[in-house]
Amino acid sequence: MNVIEVKNYEEMSRIAAQHIIKKIRAHRSYKLGLATGSTPKGVYHYLVKDHQETQTSYQQIKTFNLDEYVGISAHDSNSYHYFMREHLFNHIDIPAEHTYIPSGVSTNLEKECLHYEEKIRLHGGVDLQLLGIGQNGHIGFNEPGTSFKSRTHIVPLTESTRKANARFFPSIEEVPTHAITVGIGTILDSKEILLLASGKAKAEAISRLLNGDLDEEFPASSLLTHKHVTVIADEEALSLTK
């Protein structure tokens, strides 16, 4: 696992964006695995800025998001579909039909999970997966105890994750109780993984990831089994590591 220490959120975002832009320019039909949340917002800002300034093209790029809330439609401003349009897709030249996000309102969620796996497989897999990390070590919405072999599935969200995400909703009661997420096995199939972490709130998780052992109670530790993982973390996120 390669660790890049950066000063702050801004530098983390810039370096991650530069890495992604380089790959996209070199491989026209690159498959990007994307995340939502506070962590990748800065990366998306820099991707948009670069697209506006240098016209890096996303016309042949395909994207696969990690997850979506169950019961929240793509038009809802709390959906991850909406988040991605707001922060990235509406500002670059990617065709909407090249952007894949699981549907949280499918009438058959089990089937939706199988179809999503199939879509990723049919496109030859994800080349680069961008990840944030939960304070409890979750990746995607794979909470502690999830099998490292898991594929796309429906998960009940833990109280701590619902609390952490409550800031986006009018009240905690309105935070969905379930989500659809790619599995840890799905994430590990990506050819390359870029995990980003910024701020003190992530320090314990990053320390456990970098010092720790493989443990299904700490989902991010599954990344220790992957050959090509880069962690870009800022000083605060690394503050408990040394």
* Spatial contact of 103 and 93, defined as CB atoms under 8 Å apart: no
Task: State yes or no: is 143 an active-site residue.
Answer: yes
Q: What's the Cα-to-Cα distance from 186 to each of 151, 165, 189, 223, rounded to whole Å?
A: 5, 23, 5, 12
Residue 8 engages ligand F6R in binding (rule: CB under 6 A): no
Task: State yes or no: is 228 an active-site residue.
Answer: no
Exactly one of 67, 68, 189, 236 is catalytic; which is it? 67
* Spatial contact of 33 and 132, defined as CB atoms under 8 Å apart: no
Choices 85-93, 137-145, 147-155, 203-211; region in contact with ligand F6R by CB under 6 A:
137-145
Distance (Å, whole) CA 80 – CA 49: 21
Residues of span 46-105 touching ligand F6R by CB under 6 A: 66-67
Nearest to 61 by CA among 87, 86, 24: 24
Residue 32 engages ligand F6R in binding (rule: CB under 6 A): no
Residue 180 engages ligand F6R in binding (rule: CB under 6 A): no
Residue 33 engages ligand F6R in binding (rule: CB under 6 A): no
Residue 134 engages ligand F6R in binding (rule: CB under 6 A): yes
Cβ-based neighbour number of residue 227 at 10 Å: 9
Q: According to CB under 6 A, which one of 33, 42, 104, 132 is a site residue for ligand F6R?
A: 132
Distance (Å, whole) CA 176 – CA 72: 8
Residue 140 engages ligand F6R in binding (rule: CB under 6 A): yes
State the amino acid at position 226 in one-letter form.
H
Task: State yes or no: is 67 an active-site residue.
Answer: yes
- Binding stretches for ligand F6R (CB under 6 A): 35-39, 66-67, 132-134, 138-141
Active site residues: 67, 136, 138, 143
